[in-house]
Amino acid sequence: KQEVTQIPAALSVPEGENLVLNCSFTDSAIYNLQWFRQDPGKGLTSLLLIQSSQREQTSGRLNASLDKSSGRSTLYIAASQPGDSATYLCALGAGNMLTFGGGTRLMVKP
């Protein structure tokens, strides 16, 4: 059974810092990997989707990478802003299911 782990569970950084969020998984037989953002008490917003044949995807200040051989994905956020404060979740797509990690709660301080 797929297990998805996100470390750290919480992260606090000063504004302007570049940062990396980590996602590790146990089964490399996946269709894709998605990164989502969740604001407190709200639903999820899809940030980036990486297909299993791809190595990375970029959107603005966000860059996500996928290394299936090591079972890892990273979400890189450049020049962080207070508006980036949220919980970030990764999810692995395989079979008919998405399996989610527990999320990293990010706080960017002004």
Partner 1 sequence: DGGITQSPKYLFRKEGQNVTLSCEQNLNHDAMYWYRQDPGQGLRLIYYSQIVNDFQKGDIAEGYSVSREKKESFPLTVTSAQKNPTAFYLCASSISAGLAKNIQYFGAGTRLSVL
Q: Can you give the binding site for partner 1, defined by CB under 8 A?
A: 4, 6, 9, 30-32, 34, 36, 41-46, 49, 89, 91, 93-98, 100-103
Tell me the three state secondary structure of residue 84.
Answer: helix
Q: CA 25, 100, 12: angle at the middle one, nearest 5?
A: 90
Nearest-approach distance from CB 93 to partner 1, in angstroms: 3
Q: Which is nearer to partner 1, 18 or 51 (CB)?
A: 51
Nearest-approach distance from CB 43 to partner 1, in angstroms: 4
Q: Which is nearer to partner 1, 6 or 80 (CB)?
A: 6
- Is residue 73 within 8 A of residue 66, CB to CB? The reply is yes
Across-strand partners of 19?
Answer: 77
Q: Which is nearer to partner 1, 41 or 110 (CB)?
A: 41
Q: Phi and psi dihedrals of 65, rounded to 5?
A: -120, 155
